[in-house]
Amino acid sequence: MKVLYRLRKADYQAYLVGGCVRDLLLGYEPKDFDVVTDAHPEQIRAVFRNCRLIGRRFRLAHVHFGHEIVEVATFRGLNNEDGEGDRQQGRDGRILRDNVYGTIEEDAWRRDFTVNALYYNIRDFSVVDFVGGMEDHSAGILRLIGDPEQRFREDPVRMLRAVRFAVKLGFTIHPDCAAWIPHLAHLLEDIPSPRLYDEVIKLLMSGYAVQTFEQLRHFHLFGALFPETEECLAQEAEDFPLLFLAKALDRTDERLQQNKGVSPYFLFAALLWEPVRTQAKARIAAGDNDVFAYQEVSAEVINRQVRRIAIPRTVSLTMREVWMLQPRLERIKGVRPFKLLTHPRFRAAYDFLVLRAETGEADPELADWWTRFQSAGEAEQKAMTREGGTARRSRSRRRGPRKPRVTRDA
């Protein structure tokens, strides 16, 4: 409100725009508020001392209030025929830079979806709509403004945003827009990998990961983001890949609904587990040591994936630790289990093993053994790890002595 009224006091137009207006109309509490104005970035900075200009592709002003940031943008224009501003477009139609300024109506036609082009006017407390956004909002339709093919080519990330908004809001993507997505999904390969990492976090860590995953696969977008995983899912030899990933995403949604934290490394470890598992399994079958096989394959899979999605190093290193502990968790004899309990990533690796066991990809008795081992007393732990013991035999001891085997005389 301070930003809006201070711009208005300085004789500039000022509106709330986009997702905050859309969500307020649905009764949701917006996560952030975007302001749009006819003031240019330098003029905005002159109004606010606590302002910082950012961005080259899109010049924006960030007005700081402690830890809170209000993003202020200038009305975008449709063209730069008058020589004002800078707009660059690649041969494939993708917008490389867009700092052409115009009127509020031109700005509305430059936005992506009609429901995101609603403006709240503080002068008379009205919603300003130039593109039929209120009608689509009431009907629950997500529709691109303008020609769908052209708008997707201008910014292919709009395909991901279409899925995210549709799932989050419970809207239906308009057929004219939906028809183009599978044909243009490959354009995501040209998007900078850091930007795609941010989009994947928004897609899968907003509480709707399972539905989002299904829609991404439906529109052939998942393969553009995780090609090796999609190749494994397409085969579905034993249904393990699909069941495991769906379970991992469902667990992510549950934690977010319970206001619990979700670590990106665990999510990405699940997303890339199947290519790691299958490739490591092939190396082990060829004679490689299992721990060494997982170590080598983990590095190779991540190195290929970061070309598509720039997974931060702090995340990728933890992912590798979780993966490489999986074969070590199968060693339950001697002192090895005691050493594993002190590993900083043991709990995450154990949770990963339990998830695998729940979907039939790992031995449930092994997961049960580790569950009991963590809560057992010292004497019981030593008995469980005695030389010659296995997960299956340990479980048999808990159930009671085996029945004597009956033999028949020849």
Q: What is the DSSP string of 50-89?
A: TEEEE-SSS-EEEEEETTEEEEEEEPBPS--TTS-SEEEE
Q: Which amino acid is at 62?
A: H
Please state the rounded mean pLDDT for residues 94-111. 80
Predicted TM-score of the model (pTM): 0.84
Q: Is the dihedral of CA 218, 220, 221, 223 positive or negative?
A: positive
> pLDDT category, 189, cuts 50, 70, 90?
very high
Using CA atoms, how far residue 381 sits from 103, 131, 335, 338, 403, in Å, is: 72, 68, 10, 9, 25
Sign, Cα dihedral of 395, 400, 403, 404: positive
- Residue-averaged pLDDT of the chain: 88
Structure tokens at 330: 């199968």
Q: pLDDT tier at 31 (50, 70, 90 boundaries)? A: confident
| Catalytically annotated residue among 34, 38, 129, 136 | 34
pLDDT tens, position by position, 318-340: 999 999 999 999 999 999 999 99
H or E, element range at 103? none
Task: Single out the catalytic residue among 112, 129, 136, 253.
Answer: 112
**Domains, the chain, ranges and CATH?**
1-139 (3.30.460.10)
- Give backbone dihedrals phi and psi of 128, rounded to 5 degrees, phi first: -100, 130
Q: How does pLDDT run across 364-390, given as a tens digit for each residue?
A: 999 999 999 999 999 999 999 985 444
For range 55-70, the mean pLDDT:
86
Alpha-carbon Rg for the chain in angstroms: 27
Candidate list 32, 92, 190, 198, residue with the active-site label: 32
Which pLDDT belongs to residue 239? Answer: 55
Percent of the chain with pLDDT over 70: 87
Closest CA to 197 of 162, 160, 168, 172: 160
Contact 319, 268 (CB under 8 A): yes
pLDDT, position 93: 53
Which one, of 272, 279, 290, lies nearest residue 352 by Cα?
Answer: 272
| Catalytic annotation present for 32 | yes
